[in-house]
């Protein structure tokens, strides 16, 4: 039965629904008083489908065609909702964003969006304030015990200086060129297993020497100066500034340095053998052949010649001695320890100082007594070393029981005058040597240690003497030598005035010099 657009309620009162197959429709709303025993479902349809509802099939087709809904909303709100993973919708007249965990008024999870930043903003300042309060309270309570304590300038409150500022403070205008040589302390700790005893290869008054291996496999020797070392900041800076500009086969190679955490550390290329004094004077020393000794003498001469004449700087070492000569795997000598070196002008012949530094036994008299130095200072030290290398004896030691404090120079000089020079040769050499080379080297050594610096040969002349037997050597004068109260040489790095009264306080005396008759060979 079909019902279309009724106008009388009485008609409806007579209508009844008795079967489930009955389909009806209306374009008007049903009255609230309608009590027919029917299940009523109100479904809107398109207006265009309302004109041909004359059969049940047409009604079903109209219902399947759906209906149109129009609503007014904010596009930006919907975009925000879908962007957060929700679906846009309405709840009554209000926009809703339907999410997996329920509807929200704007977007999904909007309820917790501002919670975390707010918590951080509140909690972090609170914790910092409480910590500062307790710290201040603790410091006030400890005030009486802290009044007598002076914090060092490098305490934790002092900001860490940059590498550039440290270099500028220590090396001035030279800092820019030295910056590539600066090492971080952490790298040196890693290379030496935190400066472990297993890596320590030497120890002295200056500090300790460690062997290390860098990350690239290079072996290095690290000289870590102790805070009580006599080699102070000036000597450390001097060594860096001097040796960083020098490159020669017979000089040690400086790889870098470190000034972190109040440390003064020098990093060199590792030299596997020990210093020359070990091979000459140590009770457990290995044998050193004459061939090796002769090459060592020649190598040291080449290194000193480079310092005096062929480097970009004219350098006076001022502390040449066997302990400052290292030997590499091929027994090639490497001059080291430039902390006391002085740079002079290329055309400058000599200089002066009020600060006498170096090692007695290797100083010429004009320097030890009056502070005058020149390249002839190194020549004198080299001459002493030549005689020590040949004899295996240290200068300023007693070699004959009936002669007290008889120095090496006077010992060799007597053998020269008595024409028994081969008697001074180290007994460990035995018969495997060149007599001509031994005598010529002793002759050169005596020329180097003459009292008057003006008659000592230059290093260039010495190298020519060693290179050619065709050059005649002049007859040496009596050497300068000292009688010392002690048996072994000692290092000195103290202030000493250059006036005569101050010089007399030095516990050395100069033997009366005499020009003896020349004794031809």
Distances (CA, A) of 417 to 315, 396, 444: 35, 20, 15
Q: Are 317 and 461 in contact (CB under 8 A)?
A: no
Question: What local confidence, expressed as pLDDT, does residue 30 receive?
Answer: 59
For the ranges 36-50, 139-153, 163-177, 350-364, the one whose mean pLDDT is highest? 350-364
Other CB atoms within 10 Å distance of the CB of residue 7: 6
Question: What local confidence, expressed as pLDDT, does residue 82 receive?
Answer: 85
Mean pLDDT of 221-241: 76
Q: In which residue are the tokens 């036994």 written?
A: 361
Report, as residue numbers or ranges, the catalytic residues.
Answer: 319
Is beta strand 102-104 parallel, antiparallel or unpaired with respect to 372-374? unpaired
Q: Strands of 264-269's sheet, edge to edge? A: 200-204, 207-213, 219-225, 264-269, 254-258
Give which of 478, 476, 467 is closest to 513, Cα–Cα. Answer: 478
Q: Which residue blocks in 332-458 are alpha helix, DSSP H? A: 365-370, 375-391, 408-417, 435-448
3-class SS of residue 39: coil
pLDDT digits (tens, 9 = 90+) for 455-476: 999 999 999 999 998 999 999 9
C-alpha 309/C-alpha 348 separation (Å) is 12
* Stated pTM of the model: 0.60
Question: What local confidence, expressed as pLDDT, does residue 347 receive?
Answer: 60
Q: What Rg value do the Cα atoms of the chain yield, rounded? A: 50
C-alpha 504/C-alpha 434 separation (Å) is 44
Which range among 87-91, 339-343, 364-368 shows the weakest confidence by mean pLDDT? Answer: 87-91
Residue 245 assigned to a binding site? no
Is beta strand 94-99 parallel, antiparallel or unpaired with respect to 102-104? antiparallel
C-alpha 506/C-alpha 297 separation (Å) is 31
């Amino acid at each position: 039965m079909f019902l279309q657009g009724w106008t009388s309620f009485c008609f409806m009162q007579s209508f009844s629904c008795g079967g489930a197959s009955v389909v009806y429709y209306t374009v008007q709303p049903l009255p609230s008083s309608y009590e027919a025993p029917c299940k009523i479902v109100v479904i809107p349809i398109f207006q265009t489908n309302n004109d041909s509802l004359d059969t049940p099939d047409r009604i079903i087709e109209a219902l399947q065609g759906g209906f149109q809904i129009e609503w007014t909303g904010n596009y930006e709100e919907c975009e925000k909702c879908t962007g957060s993973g929700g679906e846009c919708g309405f709840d009554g007249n209000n926009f809703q964003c339907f999410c997996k965990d329920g509807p929200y008024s704007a977007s999904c999870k909007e309820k917790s969006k501002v919670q975390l930043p707010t918590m951080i903003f509140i909690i972090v300042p609170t914790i910092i304030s409480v910590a500062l309060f307790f710290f201040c309270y603790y410091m006030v309570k400890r005030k009486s015990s802290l009044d007598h304590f002076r914090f060092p300038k490098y305490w934790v409150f002092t900001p860490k200086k940059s590498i550039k500022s440290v270099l500028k403070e220590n090396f001035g205008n030279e800092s820019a060129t030295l910056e590539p040589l600066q090492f971080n302390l952490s790298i040196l700790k890693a290379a030496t297993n935190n400066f472990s005893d297993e890596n320590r290869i030497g120890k002295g008054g200056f500090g300790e020497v460690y062997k290390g291996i860098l990350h690239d496999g290079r072996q290095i020797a690290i000289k870590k100066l102790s805070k009580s070392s006599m080699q102070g900041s000036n000597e450390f800076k001097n060594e860096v500034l001097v040796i960083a500009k020098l490159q020669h086969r017979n000089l040690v190679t400086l790889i870098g340095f470190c000034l972190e955490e109040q440390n003064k550390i020098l990093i060199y290329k590792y030299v596997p053998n020990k210093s020359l004094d070990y091979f000459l004077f140590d009770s457990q020393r290995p044998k050193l052949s004459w061939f090796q000794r002769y090459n060592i003498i020649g190598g040291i001469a080449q290194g000193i010649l480079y310092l005096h004449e062929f480097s970009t700087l004219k350098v006076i070492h001022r502390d040449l001695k066997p302990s400052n000569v290292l030997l590499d795997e091929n027994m090639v000598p490497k001059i080291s320890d430039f902390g006391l070196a002085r740079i002079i002008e290329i055309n400058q012949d000599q200089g002066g100082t009020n600060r006498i530094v170096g090692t007695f036994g290797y100083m010429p008299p004009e320097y030890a007594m009056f502070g005058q130095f020149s390249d002839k200072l190194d020549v004198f030290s080299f001459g002493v070393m030549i005689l020590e290398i040949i004899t295996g004896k240290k200068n300023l030691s007693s070699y004959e029981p009936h002669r007290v404090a008889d120095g090496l120079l006077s010992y060799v000089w007597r053998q020269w005058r008595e024409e028994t020079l081969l008697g001074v040769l180290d007994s460990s050499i035995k018969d495997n040597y060149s007599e001509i080379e031994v005598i010529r080297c002793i002759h050169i050594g005596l020329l180097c240690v003459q009292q008057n610096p003006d008659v000592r040969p230059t290093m260039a002349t010495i190298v020519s003497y060693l290179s050619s037997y065709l050059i005649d050597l002049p007859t040496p004068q009596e050497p300068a030598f000292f009688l010392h109260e002690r048996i072994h040489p000692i290092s000195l790095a103290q202030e000493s005035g250059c006036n005569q009264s101050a010089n007399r306080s030095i516990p050395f005396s100069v033997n009366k010099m005499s020009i003896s008759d020349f004794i031809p060979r």
